[in-house]
Amino acid sequence: MKFLVCISNVPDTTTKITFTPDNKEFNKAGVQFVINPWDEYALTRAIELKEAQGSGTVTVLNVGEADTEPNIRKALAIGADDAIRVNAHPKDAYFVAQQIASVAKEGGYDVILMGKESIDYNGFQVHGMVGEMLGIPTVAPAMKLDMNGNTATLEREIEGGKEIVEVNTPFVASCQQPMCEPRIPNMRGIMTARTKPLKVIEPVGEGARTEVAEYALPPKKQGVKLIPAESAGDLIKLLRNEAKVI
Amino acid sequence: MSVLVVVECDNGEVKKSSLEVASYGSQVAQMLGTSATAIAVGEATEANLAKLGEQGISKVLYDAEPRLKDFVNGAYTKLIATAAQQEDSKVIVLANSNIGAAVGSRLSVRLQASLATNVVELPKVNNGQFLVKRGAFSGKAFADVTLQGDRKIIAVKKNSIEALHEAGKTAQVVAFSAQLTDADFADAPKQVVMQDQAGGILLPEADKVVSGGRGMKGPENWYLIEDLAKALGAATACSKPVSDVDWRPHHEHVGQTGITVSPNLYIACGISGAIQHLAGVNSSKVIVVINKDPEAPFFKAADYGIVGDVFDVLPKLTQAVKELG
């Protein structure tokens, strides 16, 4: 079975967010980038399923410029077999989805996995766009994924519960916990990753449909108002009379 | 041409987040000099749908097909796309929910529309150009985004828009059929499992949330959280370490890789406030932090704080809420 896992290159979760002087781009200076944490579930689960089947391949796909390659190599070190990088700035979800759909179509992948959303753009859009472009089902967000032959059983999170869904390959799923315990690379993985194939291709399609005009930081908090623990009950009065939330 | 609003219903009632979506849609319609039509999904009653008039909706389309009671991605997408074509809708508004995201992303390709999710404000409309503000970087920033093209889809974040309530106005409920076939239900769920909700309040829809961290010391102490939540009419939640060690179920985990909540009130008990946790709560309107460590980073993000032992403070708060009556 051929797995395609799409990963984003995102600022580390502890990053202090700042922007370029024109507020149009995220300021990358001095920032550590990581594999999008949601995508790690997709990657690890694909590797686990491939191992359980005893055959097949896991291909990692990233839409990004050359500076994303360290994290692509990391995904290879975790256990993916090969990688494709679409050499372009990921302009918006629609642009990225077109790249993924094109690669998926050409490569004939059976299972296309990605994280629920990226922690930088928080779009939660790419899964459905890819599914619609390819005319195949999408399951989003998926908390569990098991394969039996060509049939997948997934748990899809809905507000207040879950749906058990069965789909046949090919399909798209966007993954979240508790799907699996994301793996970290070991030394052997890091060594072998260096020589695994990483193909760079040029983007296709029509470009983006949305554009960021400006980023802004949320307004600063006023500062915390402390209430002594002895008179904790006063907090409730403040919440009613001052904050007016109860 | 009208603005099409997707309204999610459950157990006959329109979800609170969908009342906000309806209000958003009717205000956009007003900006564009047109009317707002809703398409209802899920289990709804005609009386409750008619009440969407209070949110400024003039017409509600409803397909009584029983298989639409549960979410089915393929069928919902076709239903809404058909309604959008019939109504010639240039703008579609839906909730930034698991349903909204699953359907909205497919619709955007099918209808060749531009899509913005996680939207927190009404758009600025200028010559058919839409500028919308959306949350980005896990609540740590906002992005003003221009939506290009003739058609736009907007997914509105919960609790960011005040729902309208124009008492006495009713919407016309109209039977609608998208001629759905068995093929459209190919990805229908085999089974739907609903969780037991503490006090019946759904965390993603909750106005108020009481949340516990490792400072609660063990699952046996959760009654302190539940008592306060019950008194307040709040949902309960937890931090990632708590769900990782199975003190609480995963669906209560709030944070970067858990649920993002934006209630009016978030009370954090024994949670230090790691940046990954803050990412899930920082769009809450009022944040209260109770922690015995005065250096806990969460206090920097809080509006109100109590430096004290949760085991001492929580019963006092529950008592004080009960005394409010």
State whether B158 and B93 are in the same domain: yes
Confidence label for B199 from pLDDT (cuts 50, 70 and 90):
low
Contacts of B265 in chain A (CB under 8 A): 239, 243, 245-246
State whether B160 and B31 are in the same domain: yes
Residue B100: which of B13, B194, B6 has the closest Cα? B6
In a domain, A226, yes or no: no
Whether the pLDDT of residue B140 is over 70: the answer is: yes
State whether B218 and B93 are in the same domain: no
Q: Are residues B251 and B198 in contact, defined by beta-carbon separation less than 8 angstroms?
A: no
Q: Mapping DSSP to helix (H, G, I), strand (E, B) and coil, where does residue B20 land? A: helix
In a domain, A177, yes or no: yes
In a domain, A243, yes or no: no
State whether B166 and B218 are in the same domain: no
Whether the pLDDT of residue B196 is over 80: the answer is: no
In a domain, B103, yes or no: yes
| Residue A154: predicted pLDDT | 97
CATH at A132? 3.40.50.620
State whether B96 and B215 are in the same domain: no
In a domain, B250, yes or no: yes
In a domain, B193, yes or no: no
Confidence label for B198 from pLDDT (cuts 50, 70 and 90):
low
Which of B137, B146, B191 minimises the CB distance to A213?
B146
In a domain, A225, yes or no: no
End residue of a domain, out of B141, B159, B185: B185
| Residue B258: predicted pLDDT | 87
Residue A152 belongs to domain spanning = 2-219
Nearest CA in chain A to B306: A227
The answer to whether the Cβ–Cβ distance between B147 and A210 falls below 8 Å is yes
In a domain, A234, yes or no: no
DSSP assignment string, A83-104? EEEEES----HHHHHHHHHHHH
The answer to whether the Cβ–Cβ distance between A166 and B116 falls below 8 Å is no
Chain A, residues 40-79, CB within 8 A of chain B, namely none
Nearest CA in chain B to A120: B137
Chain B interface mutation, best of A158, A212, A215, highest count of B Cβ atoms under 10 Å? A158
State whether B23 and B171 are in the same domain: yes
The rounded Cα A190 to chain-centroid distance in angstroms is 22
In a domain, B226, yes or no: yes
Please check whether residue B161 touches A, CB under 8 A. no
The pLDDT tens digits for B156-177 are: 999 999 999 999 999 999 999 9
Task: Spell out, as residue ranges, where chain A has pLDDT lower than 70.
Answer: none
State whether B165 and B208 are in the same domain: no
State whether B179 and B204 are in the same domain: no
Please check whether residue A29 touches B, CB under 8 A. no
Q: Mapping DSSP to helix (H, G, I), strand (E, B) and coil, where does residue B106 land? A: helix
Give the whole-angstrom CA distance, residue B236 versus residue B290.
15
End residue of a domain, out of B125, B157, B185: B185
State whether B24 and B173 are in the same domain: yes
DSSP assignment string, B246-285? TSS-GGGBBSTTSB----SEEEEES----HHHHHHHTT-S
The answer to whether the Cβ–Cβ distance between B108 and A129 falls below 8 Å is yes
| Residue B197: predicted pLDDT | 59
The pLDDT tens digits for A145-178 are: 999 999 999 999 988 889 999 999 999 999 998 8
Contacts of B21 in chain A (CB under 8 A): none
Q: For residue A186, how many other CB atoms are within 10 A of its CB?
A: 11
Distance from CA of A58 to the nearest CA of B (A): 23
Q: What is the interface pTM, i.e. ipTM, of the complex?
A: 0.94
- B153 or B201, which is more confident? B153
CATH at B289? 3.40.50.1220
Nearest CA in chain A to B147: A210
State whether B69 and B143 are in the same domain: yes
The pLDDT tens digits for B73-127 are: 999 999 999 999 999 999 999 999 999 999 999 999 999 999 999 999 999 998 8
End residue of a domain, out of B185, B213, B246: B185
Which of B102, B141, B321 minimises the CB distance to A217?
B141
Residue contacts between A and B (CB atoms, under 8 Å): 261
The pLDDT tens digits for B252-302 are: 999 988 888 999 999 999 999 999 999 999 889 999 999 999 999 999 999
The helix (H) or strand (E) run that includes residue B76 is helix B73-87
State whether B159 and B277 are in the same domain: no
The pLDDT tens digits for B291-319 are: 999 999 999 999 999 999 999 999 999 99
In a domain, B143, yes or no: yes
Instruction: Look at chain B and report how many structural domains it folds into.
Output: 2
Instruction: Look at chain A and report how many structural domains it folds into.
Output: 1
pLDDT (mean) for B228-242 = 95
What is the residue-averaged pLDDT of chain B?
94
In a domain, B305, yes or no: yes
Distance from CA of B59 to the nearest CA of A (A): 26
| Residue B201: predicted pLDDT | 80
Confidence label for B250 from pLDDT (cuts 50, 70 and 90):
confident
Residue B226 belongs to domain spanning = 198-324
Q: Give strand pairing partners of A59.
A: A4, A82
State whether B221 and B174 are in the same domain: no
In a domain, B191, yes or no: no
